[in-house]
Amino acid sequence: MNRSYVALGSNLGDREQHIDDALIELALLAHYGTVRCSPFYETDPMGPQNQPAYVNAVCVFDTTLDPFELLAELQRIESIQGRQRGRERWSSRPLDLDLLLYGQRRIVTERLTVPHVGIAERSFVLQPLADLDPGLVIPGVGAVTDLLPRCQQFGIRRLHLRDEKSIHRD
Ligand code: A4P
Ligand code: MG
């Protein structure tokens, strides 16, 4: 069993609905169907500025899938929610799912890098990670609470209608 942290992002269409739908799909992959999600944040775009603001969150769950199987599942969930691959890097998308952490594993391959390459630099990833798990240490990188004040600060605003929740599926 491996504890996986997945970043969720959306900046097209009903952004919060896309993330809610993805959480249900992720719950189907999770051991006991339990996914714990951070609060949702509205965040200024990293990359091209002529795109709408994102909604970002991070979730955590235990899985028996290996990391490559999990990546394939994340890409399948992105594609059922209308993500077109092969577009400009960092451009608008209805759903982006990134595998941030997979247990204590460090993986560097062409298809998959874990911890995720951007993890230490993005406030819209570190803040929800710290919300979920304030004591989290990123293997080979450091503690989230140390990284957060030093990372690039994209404007992030906590969305008040959402709060921490778990999804349980039988
Ligand atoms: N890949 C390698 N490692 C991983 C991993 N740990 N998780 C490979 C997921 N994928 C991984 O990803 C490109 C390739 O990365 C995949 O084929 C996979 O094999 P992609 O999702 O197709 O491309 P992308 O998302 O456009 O590019 P990239 O570099 O992954 O972008 P990011 O880092 O996902 O950033 N601004 C705000 N405020 N909030 C955001 O969430 N997101 C992005 C996209 C841009 N600006 C943003 C946000
Ligand atoms: Mg991505």
pLDDT tens digits, one per residue of 19-34: 999 999 999 999 888 9
Nearest Cα neighbor of 56 from 126, 111, 4, 109 is 126
| Ligand 1 and 67: CB distance under 6 A | no
What digits encode the pLDDT tens for the residues 88-119? 666 778 999 999 999 999 999 999 999 999 99
Q: Given the CA of residue 44, which atom of ligand 1 is nearest to it?
A: 38
pLDDT at residue 8 tops 80: yes
CA distance 80 to 89: 20
Rounded to the nearest 5°, which phi and psi values hold at 35? -125, 130
Q: What is the residue-averaged pLDDT of the chain?
A: 91
What is the structure's pLDDT at 154?
Answer: 82
Rounded to the nearest 5°, which phi and psi values hold at 99? -80, 110
What is the structure's pLDDT at 164?
Answer: 57
What is the structure's pLDDT at 168?
Answer: 67
Torsion sign, CA atoms 75, 80, 82, 86: positive
pLDDT at residue 84 tops 80: no
What digits encode the pLDDT tens for the residues 129-168? 999 999 999 999 999 999 999 888 889 999 965 555 667 6
* Catalytic site residue from 83, 89, 131, 163: 83
The length of the chain in residues reads: 170
Q: What is the CA radius of gyration of the chain?
A: 15
Q: Given the CA of residue 97, which atom of ligand 1 is nearest to it?
A: 9
| Ligand 1 and 46: CB distance under 6 A | yes
| Ligand 1 and 136: CB distance under 6 A | no
CA distance 25 to 122: 25
Ligand nearest to the CA of 51: 1
In this prediction the pTM is: 0.93
The 10 Å CB-count burial string (b at 16+, else e) for 77-86 is: bbeebebeee
What percent of the chain stands above pLDDT 70? 89
